[in-house]
Amino acid sequence: MNSTVILKGNILYTPRPSEFISIPHGYIIAVDGVVVYCGESIPPAYAACEVTDYGDNLIIPGFVDTHAHAPQYCNRGLGMDKELLPWLETYTFPEEAKFSDPDYARLVYGAFVQDLWRNGTTRSILFGTIHKESTLVLMELLQKAGLSAYVGKVNMDRNSPEFLIEETQQSLIDTKEWVDASSQFGPLVKPIITPRFVPSCTSELMSGLGKLAEEYNVPIQSHLSENHGEINWVASLHPESPNYTDVYYEHRLMGQVPTVMAHCIHLSDVEIDRMAETQTMVSHCPYSNVNLSSGIAPIRKLMKRNIPIGLGSDISGGHIVSMAKVLTEAIGLSKMKWVEVDQTYAPLTLSEAFYMATKGGGKFFGKVGSFEKGCDLDALIIDDTSIFDPNERTLEERLERWLYVGDDRHIVERYVAGHIVPNPQG
């Protein structure tokens, strides 16, 4: 029997980066978790169905975080005066080593999943650690919470602390076993192949992971062009490759299956061509790029090349889980790019940043992040009445105000694929 959900409220979404659709006191109808109608009135065929009326609340798509490191959750706000490579050595690697203990993983990942839920992140693309048991714990907790995610067991077999370096073939064996075990988590929580980044993976490992991704039809995530020191390091490790991007491409880690690369700040025009050719998604992580002095990604330039772009919290290079705050930071950083670097890069508009935080990143999951027909019904119900303002505001103004000055306390309900997602901690 089909399950029909009808929501009523003030609806806002972005079918395109340049356009908000706002429907005062409108209706969203989903059947078996998929939107079949969004508009001003209920079609006659659904007139007898129960309606969940959210009154004057806002209804927006759930947020999508396209890049976060779940095991770094406890490191938020630490080492923010360091650049990328010293920060990894001082804070990140020692923390990730603790996830050899599945009990520690369950403690930290439980808090992390709770924070995703609290902030309205209904879908996410996550790094775990090299430890397959702990990575399965993260997937289990996400499944139990009713949230959707791609989760990666990280791979590292060189240029890392001894306590995190894997033997190459064992890394591939563990990854294959982990992918097989991931099938138990169903349609909302899936594996993603995760070479940490080129400096930490030998050619043998990268080639093996590329083959595994193709064999299982599993997507890929990694880091690309985040920091000048990292880029120079890659050039010294792979003098046979013309650039950082092509190291991934030559190892079949781009262009074969859906791929998302975090950061992409310092890409050359040739590398941008490769990203466009392979339709590799960029995860733009504004807080992290500021905190680690990495730079300002040329998002407007990438948009003009029709490269798919989502937004990432990059916990813990980024210190804030909330994608509402990540998207407003992306707008602010684009203004600095425009005024200080190159005035041909127009700043991001609110609709463009909101699109990236919803439908832009949601494309990695399929039809996600919008209320258009055929999209999964992921939604947040926002009660903004406690934000003082005696003036009448449009729905777009109310949304903008909440994004900038509101917080998770205003999110009164969360839906994933048509189902209410209750508080994971009860």
What is the structure's pLDDT at 22? 98
CB atoms within 10 A of CB 235: 14
What CA–CA distance (Å, rounded) separates 93 from 200?
Answer: 12
| Domains along the chain with CATH numbers | 4-62+369-420 (2.30.40.10), 63-365 (3.20.20.140)
The one-letter amino acid at 119? N
What CA–CA distance (Å, rounded) separates 93 from 164?
Answer: 8
DSSP-assigned beta bridge partners for residue 16? 19
Q: What is the pLDDT of residues 318-348, one digit of tens each?
A: 999 999 999 999 999 999 999 998 898 899 9
Q: Are 323 and 353 in contact (CB under 8 A)?
A: no
What CA–CA distance (Å, rounded) separates 246 from 224?
Answer: 10
Q: Are 227 and 253 in contact (CB under 8 A)?
A: no
Phi/psi of residue 274, each to 5°?
A: -65, -40
Residues 6+ apart with CB under 8 A from 388: none
For the chain, the first-to-last Cα distance in angstroms comes to 29
CA torsion 67-309-143-366 (nearest 10°) is: -160
Phi/psi of residue 158, each to 5°?
A: -160, 165
Q: Are 26 and 11 in contact (CB under 8 A)?
A: yes
In sequence order, what DSSP letters do the residues of 91-131 get, joined into one string?
IIHHHHHGGGSHHHHHHHHHHHHHHHHHTTEEEEEEE--S-
**Token pair 């909330």: residue:** 322
What is the structure's pLDDT at 342? 87
In sequence order, what DSSP letters do the residues of 347-377 get, joined into one string?
PPPHHHHHHIIIIIHHGGGSS-SS-STTSB-
DSSP-assigned beta bridge partners for residue 31? 4, 34
CB atoms within 10 A of CB 101: 13
Q: For every one of its 426 residues, what pLDDT tens digit does the chain have, with 9 covering 90 and above?
A: 579 999 999 999 999 999 999 999 999 999 999 999 999 999 999 999 999 999 999 999 999 999 999 999 999 999 999 888 898 999 999 999 999 999 999 999 999 999 999 999 999 999 999 999 999 999 999 999 999 999 999 999 999 999 999 999 999 999 999 999 999 998 999 999 999 999 999 999 999 999 999 999 999 999 999 999 999 999 999 999 999 999 999 999 999 999 999 999 999 999 999 999 999 999 999 999 999 999 999 999 999 999 999 999 999 999 999 999 999 999 999 999 999 988 988 999 999 999 999 999 999 999 999 999 999 999 999 999 999 999 999 999 999 999 999 999 999 999 999 999 999 987
What CA–CA distance (Å, rounded) separates 262 from 285?
Answer: 7
Q: Label residues 202-220 b or e (16+ Cβ within 10 Å = b).
A: bbebbbbbbebbeebebbb
Closest C-alpha to 283, from 254, 319, 259: 259
Supply angle C-alpha 196, 281, 133, rounded to 5. 35
What is the structure's pLDDT at 1? 55
Query: Is this model's pTM higher than 0.85 or not?
Result: yes
What is the structure's pLDDT at 2? 76
Closest C-alpha to 262, from 307, 312, 326: 312
CB atoms within 10 A of CB 16: 12
Q: Are 341 and 297 in contact (CB under 8 A)?
A: no
CB atoms within 10 A of CB 225: 26
Residue 416's H or E segment, with its range, is: strand 411-416
Give the CA distances from residue 410 to residues 22, 59, 305, 376, in Å, rounded to whole numbers and listed in that order: 19, 12, 36, 23
Residue 329's H or E segment, with its range, is: helix 323-336
Q: What is the pLDDT of residues 275-319, one digit of tens each?
A: 999 999 999 999 999 999 999 999 999 999 999 999 999 999 999
Closest C-alpha to 150, from 82, 68, 34: 68
- Helix-helix angle 168-181:203-216, to 10 degrees: 20
The one-letter amino acid at 420? I
SS (H, E, C) 270-315: HHHHHHHHHCCEEEECHHHHHHCCCCCCCHHHHHHCCCCEEECCCE
Q: Are 281 and 261 in contact (CB under 8 A)?
A: yes
